[in-house]
Amino acid sequence: MTELDAQLARRKLATITRSLDLLAAIEGLPLAEYRADPFRQKGVERLLQEVVEAAVDTNLHLLGAAGAPTPGDYYQASSTSGAMASCRPRWPKRWRPPLASATGWSTNTM
């Protein structure tokens, strides 16, 4: 078991929050307009990559602090932490439906 580094977890969660807030700027953007702008596409892709990397890093850190074995891949990291109620943060209500559909968690546990 490793010690939980709360600052590390906060930094990773801040990265997720910042990236999701930036992505909110394209909500409602017509698909044709999005597809017509390769720079916007690359920006969105990079922000999504930051969200996934920070989420995986956070999952791995929380699992290590909980004494769980190191998962073999990203899917195992996500499914293992999802099964551990102590690793579920209380997300802002506006993020719960999309996160629940992406993770398989219930919005009631988020």
30-39 burial string, b = 16+ CB within 10 Å, else e?
A: eeeeeeeeee
Encoded tokens for 4: 């939980």
End-to-end CA distance of the chain: 25
Q: pLDDT per residue over 70-110, tens digit each?
A: 777 777 777 776 666 555 555 566 666 666 665 555 555 54
pLDDT of residue 91: 59
**With the C-alpha atoms ordered 44, 49, 50, 55, is the resulting torsion angle positive or negative?**
positive
What pTM did the predictor assign?
A: 0.67
